[in-house]
């Protein structure tokens, strides 16, 4: 699929959260950072003005994120919450065995992936490999030097 | 060594209030003040440093400890009395005068700080230094809410006691938390902790993961053993039973790592890898790889604590312990790559930096004996890589084979965890004899000239 046609898969909750972040960045943060830059400019000599440099860098990061969010929101594809399925779909929470270890995580769209909440992207090697799998099935995944057999133990 | 063991790091943009600046000034002064105590403990000519009489053999010390157990306490100096009998003297009595000054500085900082918990922490530490109540203070520190300013000061690491691995050396650090880097480090920590893994001997395992705290600090000063070793991270406490009861605090010293990376890791990388190979690995990626080695090492430590391992492995414990922690940490990255949390290139950078850090430990161990266990441990890994064809050594390490290296890491990780969880002294000695040779380092000696 050409990159420009790519859809961003999101839950309704994820979409709401990204919309709130977009509103916060465009309606609050953007004007705050412009004000910081103006104040920093008044300190004089921009070549040695660390506050000005820091504020400009922050502005650049902010604008990049805003552009990214605009792109995602334009091409968002909402998925409905899954009822327990016989096979793995985006939104499933799974328990798998990988190299003698037991892992539990949810498979979500790439924009909602968050390792601290055990949410793994559907575009990650494991995410891709598990989609469509049924309990008891085993699949091999390999990325460079890392190789693993993954056995699907449970879909929750 | 006669030079004062103090390293002050030039750190800018700390974002401290005036009151916090005053607190930090006093803490830095307190840290400096313990350097002279450490000088009285250190002595690289003897495996027992100045913790024991230089003519006392292990057998004599252990026999004397049967009637006076305090001889083996981490917080006593062993001396001979007039009749030649071994006796123990607590640190807080032996170094009473010096510790009084340090304690007073901590009390001044405790009065200034506006954070009540931190103030209490400083008062408890001031008390501990003059009455020996280290555990009360340490446990308060580990269980208190993380605060932007941090100090650790007192007798902590046992690396200088190469005779029995019992006695603690005085050391200190002062740091200011780096929130952004701490947040990033916690993502990797949490992703590894989330996995339910196979445990070799369940009853032996010290379990305290839900009580583990982690912070990345901009370090302002190292004093005592820390200044000698220029460490890049630390996990406290060291006793698995205390860890299980109160949890563990892991600290990363980002400023120290910066210096290590610039002066050692990166120059070693430039010296031992082929120039064509180097094109694929930008400096920033390697700097992150270097930090992740340290991060994974400490995460590994927190997962591989077995209650009885020190008693079984005796003075060989630190060799196996330090290596197994890093190796387990790197092995854990496999699932992070598969889950898309880490890229393949980032994993390769971690493995490259593991090799560079091994050479760093070897170079450092020639100046500082207390870090020798790290050098021996890493030699075990490098020799294992060589034996498996994961690295080549003709004219410099050229084009490491990452597939073989990761396989080697997985094999080593399982073997080392089995050793640390249920192995005995002769098992550890066998592994060290088979793979611990420093020849692997000296083959590259000519290429490393000028790196200190």
Q: How many Å apart are CA A66 and CA A69, to the nearest integer?
A: 5
Q: What is the least distance, in Å, from the CA of A124 to any CA of chain B?
A: 5
- Whether B237 contacts B45, CB under 8 Å: no
Contacts 24+ apart (CB under 8 A), A120-126: A120/B339, A120/B340, A120/B341, A121/B340, A122/A9, A122/A90, A123/B340, A124/B338, A124/B339, A124/B340, A124/B341, A125/B337, A125/B338, A125/B339, A125/B340, A126/A96, A126/A98, A126/A150, A126/B338, A126/B339, A126/B340
Structure tokens, B89? 């003297």
Chain B residues within an 8 Å CB radius of A150: 338
Nearest CA in chain A to B196: A102
Backbone φ and ψ for B115, nearest 5 degrees, come out as -95, 115
Q: How many Å apart are CA B98 and CA B33, to the nearest integer?
A: 8
- Whether B413 contacts B327, CB under 8 Å: yes
DSSP codes, B39-71: HHH--TTSTTTTTS-TT--HHHHHHHHHH-GGG
Q: Based on C-alpha coordinates, what's the Rg of chain B?
A: 22
**pLDDT at residue number B239:** 76
CB-based contact A146 B405, cutoff 8 Å? no
Q: Is A105 on the interface with B (CB under 8 A)?
A: yes
Q: How many Å apart are CA B31 and CA B435, to the nearest integer?
A: 39
pLDDT in tens, B330-349: 999 999 999 999 999 999 99
- Whether A149 contacts A130, CB under 8 Å: no
Cα angle B252, B267, B408; round to 5: 70
Cα angle B260, B263, B265; round to 5: 60
Chain A residues within an 8 Å CB radius of B402: 144-145
**pLDDT at residue number A1:** 46
Q: What is the least distance, in Å, from the CA of A100 to any CA of chain B?
A: 6
Sequence ranges of the domains in chain B = 6-177, 179-448
Helix spans in B51-171 (H) = 58-67, 91-94, 96-112, 116-131, 134-143
Q: Is A104 on the interface with B (CB under 8 A)?
A: yes
Q: How many CB atoms lie within 10 A of CB B125?
A: 27
Pairing label, strands A8-10, A76-78: parallel
Report the residue from B335, B406, B410 with minimal CB separation from A98: B335
pLDDT in tens, A4-43: 567 888 888 888 989 999 999 999 999 999 998 888 888 7
CB-based contact A113 B340, cutoff 8 Å? yes
CB-based contact B340 A144, cutoff 8 Å? no
Sorted by sequence, the CB contacts under 8 Å of residue B431 that are 6+ apart come out as: B320, B380, B415, B419
Domain B6-177 has CATH 3.30.540.30: yes
Q: Is A61 on the interface with B (CB under 8 A)?
A: no
CB-based contact A115 B190, cutoff 8 Å? yes
Q: How many CB atoms lie within 10 A of CB A29?
A: 16
Nearest CA in chain B to A118: B191
> Is the pLDDT score of A2 beyond 60?
no
Q: Is A153 on the interface with B (CB under 8 A)?
A: no
- Whether B369 contacts B162, CB under 8 Å: yes
Average pLDDT per 10 consecutive residues for chain B, totaling 452 residues: 84 85 96 96 94 96 96 96 95 96 97 96 97 91 91 93 93 95 92 77 68 92 94 85 84 93 95 88 96 94 85 92 95 94 96 96 89 94 94 75 96 94 94 94 84 81
Q: Is B145 on the interface with A (CB under 8 A)?
A: no
Q: How many Å apart are CA B266 and CA B277, to the nearest integer?
A: 14
Q: Which CATH number is A8-78's, of 1.10.10.10, 1.10.340.30, 1.10.287.180, 1.25.10.10?
A: 1.10.287.180
In this predicted complex, what is the ipTM?
Answer: 0.76
- Whether B280 contacts B267, CB under 8 Å: no
H or E segment to which residue B209 belongs: none
Q: How many Å apart are CA B75 and CA B134, to the nearest integer?
A: 9
Cross-strand partners of A138: A151
Cross-strand partners of B90: B76
CB-based contact A124 B405, cutoff 8 Å? no
- Whether A7 contacts A79, CB under 8 Å: no
Q: Which CATH class is domain A81-155?
A: alpha beta
**pLDDT at residue number B201:** 65
Q: Is A42 on the interface with B (CB under 8 A)?
A: no
Q: Chains A, B: CB contacts under 8 A, how many?
A: 83
Cross-strand partners of A77: A9
Sorted by sequence, the CB contacts under 8 Å of residue B155 that are 6+ apart come out as: B74, B75, B91, B134, B168, B169, B170, B171
Q: Locate the DSSP E strands across chain A.
A: 8-10, 76-78, 93-98, 101-108, 119-121, 138-143, 146-155
Q: How many Å apart are CA B4 and CA B230, to the nearest integer?
A: 14
Report the residue from B187, B195, B402 with minimal CB separation from A101: B195
**pLDDT at residue number A25:** 93
Q: How many CB atoms lie within 10 A of CB A4?
A: 7
**pLDDT at residue number B396:** 65
Sorted by sequence, the CB contacts under 8 Å of residue B158 that are 6+ apart come out as: B74, B165, B166, B167, B168, B169, B238, B318
What's the Cα-to-Cα distance from A65 to each of A71, A72, B182, rounded to whole Å? 10, 10, 22
pLDDT in tens, B86-121: 999 999 999 999 999 999 999 999 999 999 999 999
Residues in chain A: 156
């Amino acid at each position: 699929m050409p990159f420009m046609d790519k859809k961003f898969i999101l839950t309704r909750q994820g979409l709401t959260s990204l919309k709130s972040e977009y509103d916060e960045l465009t309606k609050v943060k953007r004007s705050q950072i412009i004000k910081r830059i103006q104040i920093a400019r008044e300190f004089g000599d921009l070549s040695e003005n660390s506050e000005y440099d820091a504020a400009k860098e922050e502005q650049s990061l902010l604008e990049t994120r805003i552009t990214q969010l605009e792109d995602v929101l334009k091409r968002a594809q909402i998925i409905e919450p899954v009822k327990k399925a016989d096979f793995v779909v985006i939104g499933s929470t799974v328990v798998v065995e990988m190299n003698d270890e037991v892992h539990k995580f949810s498979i979500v769209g790439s924009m909602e992936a968050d390792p601290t909440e055990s949410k793994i992207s559907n575009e990650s090697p494991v995410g891709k490999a598990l989609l469509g799998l049924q309990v008891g099935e085993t699949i091999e995944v390999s990325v460079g030097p890392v190789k693993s057999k993954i056995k699907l133990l449970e879909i929750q | 060594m006669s030079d004062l063991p103090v390293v002050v790091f030039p750190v800018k943009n700390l974002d401290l209030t005036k009151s916090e600046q005053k607190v930090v000034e006093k803490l830095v002064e307190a840290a400096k003040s313990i350097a002279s105590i450490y000088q009285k403990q250190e002595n690289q000519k003897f495996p027992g440093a100045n913790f024991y009489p230089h003519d006392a053999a292990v057998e004599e010390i252990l026999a004397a400890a049967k009637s006076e157990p305090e001889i083996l306490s981490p917080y006593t100096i062993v001396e001979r009395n007039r009749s030649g009998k071994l006796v123990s003297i607590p640190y807080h009595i032996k170094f009473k005068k010096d510790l009084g000054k340090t304690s007073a500085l901590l009390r001044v900082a405790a009065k200034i700080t506006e954070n009540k918990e931190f103030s209490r922490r400083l008062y408890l530490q001031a008390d501990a230094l003059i009455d020996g109540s280290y555990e009360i203070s340490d446990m308060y520190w580990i269980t208190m809410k993380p605060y932007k300013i941090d100090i650790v000061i007192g007798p902590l690491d046992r690396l200088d006691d190469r005779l029995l691995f019992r006695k603690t050396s005085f050391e200190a650090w002062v740091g200011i938390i780096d929130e952004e880097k701490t947040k990033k480090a916690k993502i990797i920590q949490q992703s590894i902790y989330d996995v339910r893994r196979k445990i070799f001997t369940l009853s032996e395992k010290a379990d305290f993961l839900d009580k583990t705290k982690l912070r990345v600090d901009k370090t302002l000063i190292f004093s005592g053993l820390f200044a000698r070793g220029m460490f890049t991270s630390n996990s406290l406490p060291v006793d698995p039973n205390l860890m299980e009861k109160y949890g563990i605090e892991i600290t990363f010293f980002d400023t120290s790592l910066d210096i290590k990376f610039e002066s050692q890791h990166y120059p070693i990388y430039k010296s031992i890898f082929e120039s064509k190979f180097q094109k694929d690995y930008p400096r920033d990626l390697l700097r992150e790889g270097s930090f992740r080695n340290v991060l994974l090492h400490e995460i590994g430590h927190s997962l591989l604590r077995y209650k009885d391992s020190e008693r079984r492995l005796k003075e060989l414990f630190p060799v196996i312990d330090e290596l197994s922690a890093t190796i387990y940490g790197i092995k854990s990255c496999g699932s992070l790559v598969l889950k898309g949390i880490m890229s393949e290139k980032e994993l390769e950078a971690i493995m490259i930096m593991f090799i560079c850090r091994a050479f760093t430990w070897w170079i450092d161990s020639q100046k500082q004996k207390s870090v020798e266990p790290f050098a021996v441990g890493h030699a075990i890994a490098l020799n294992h890589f060589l034996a498996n064809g994961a690295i080549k050594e003709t004219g410099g390490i050229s084009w490491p084979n990452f597939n073989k290296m990761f396989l080697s890491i997985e094999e080593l990780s399982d073997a080392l965890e089995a050793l640390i969880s249920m192995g005995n002294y002769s098992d550890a000695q066998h592994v060290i004899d088979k793979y611990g040779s420093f020849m692997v380092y000296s083959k590259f000696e000519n290429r490393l000239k000028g790196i200190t």
